[in-house]
Structure 1
Amino acid sequence: MTTIPSPGLGTSGNDDPDQCAESVRTALELGYRHLDTAQMYDNEAAVGEGIATSEVPREDVFLATKVHPTNLAPDDVATTARESLDRLGVEAVDLFYVHWPMRAYDPEETLPAFDDLREAGVTRHVGVSNFTVELLEEAREILDAPIVANQVECHPLLPQDDLLDYCRERDITLVAYAPLMQGEAGRVDALADVAETHDTTPEAVSLAWLSQREGVVPIPKATGREHLRANLDAPDLTAEEVARIDAIEDRERLVDPDGAAWN
């Protein structure tokens, strides 16, 4: 399995250029080595500036971005991927994702274009985002490159157990977005109780639970130094605490797919 540093820094919604660049610099200073962006986020240039103006060498950073759903026709994949490199100020990224299997996505046309990106050295690895088991099966049959990651919403209310089992068996890392539960962690009793035990926040417990799951890499969003540091200091949970969180019966998707595709 390709090693993807954990946790990563999610940058969705961080579209103020100065703030985004500063948060990337700070994250790298604190020890983050995995940065996640996308054409959709409109912040690739700021992420690139943060990398370029940090003291961490580019080769020490695992950099991932995604092709916008409207850019998934083959010619657009090729063109916009290189535009992403230009905005990021890098010669290649470590991981290029298909961002949402929708809009211009056609597996027979889109996926070979991602193989071409890898063969051309535009990206070291190919990934997908928001793919179900069925879509992963289809993609694996078409792609020559291995799928190294599937980025999906994942947290205690959406544990993605079946998808995670599938990914584990095929050496696909499950990259978890919305790991801090979009401000909803505090209303989950199990998380609140475990947080009180550790004198921390329910969000930190959600992140800790994800970090302790085999094959999962969370990418929490944060901008300020305090929050960036806190995401690196998630508590170690006991087996009993993990089991209690595993036993949560409520299931809820917190990110609206249609809305997220245009954020």
Structure 2
Amino acid sequence: MRTLSKISVAVAAAVAVSLGASACSAPSDVSAGDKKDDKNAPLAVAASPVPHAVILDYIKKELAPKEGLKLDVRTFGDYTQPNRVTEDGEVDANFFQHKPFLDQYNKEHGSHIVPVVNVAIEPLGLYSKKIGKLSELKSGDTVSVPNDASNEGRALKLLADNGVITLKDGVGSAATLSDVKDAKGIKLTELEAAQIAPRLDDVAAAVVNGNFAINAKLKPSKDALALEKAEGNPYANFLAVKKGNENDPRVKKLAKLLNSDEVKKFIQDKYGDGSVIPAFGPVKS
């Protein structure tokens, strides 16, 4: 008999929004909206703190000056605000998300954000502070998953691929909780993605997005009970802009630098534990 439970995410969402607001970098004296016609103005980019802002800060310091590019990196702690401020023109671009997430966001919010270039994959993993291997999960245990549509399906597929649950035939990474055919006694709960790692102590195990795992000092190659495969993974994170800004010379310069040999080496050196994997190239439609 399967057991599925959903917990209220209202409080978690409020906390996440608060976190995002507090996590933003100090306001720049240069407004993206005010300087949109000045191609020599700093390019304002919204990003998750780790690894996206870390990569951008490396480019800002080591590579951008040689290309005549000024970067204004603004960090956000949640998955909602970066697209909102990009759509509104408060920033020129963002770097934090993958294609399934963006597609869902545009659909739900009527926004017009488009990908520019893939940069890296941050594998989704199952983590726990209470058990040391998958076989120790038992009936009655609670496992938390992200509550946004694209990452929840991705998380459920990871659990199914590793025998934790069974999904209905054919649903794959589009799965929702209603598509769980057999939970095997596991209680599945939904949380806003940013809140999962901080609440890891409250559950038997949790599926954590790669960037939040890094921020929580979790090392995928060492700590994950199960980990997504990088090969053929459709969840590469990319640089994105509001439609119509793809040909901004500053955006083109940043896209080139994000796919450079220097950035590839930086990622491999800094995240050699497999938490971030270079995945350069165009974004598939």
**Between Structure 1 and Structure 2, which shows a larger proportion of helix residues?**
1
Q: What's the TM-score, normalizing by structure 2?
A: 0.26
Which entry has the higher C-alpha Rg, 1 or 2? 2
Q: What's the TM-score, normalizing by structure 1?
A: 0.28
**Between Structure 1 and Structure 2, which shows a larger proportion of strand residues?**
2
The answer to which structure, 1 or 2, has the higher relative contact order (CA under 8 A, 6+ apart) is 2
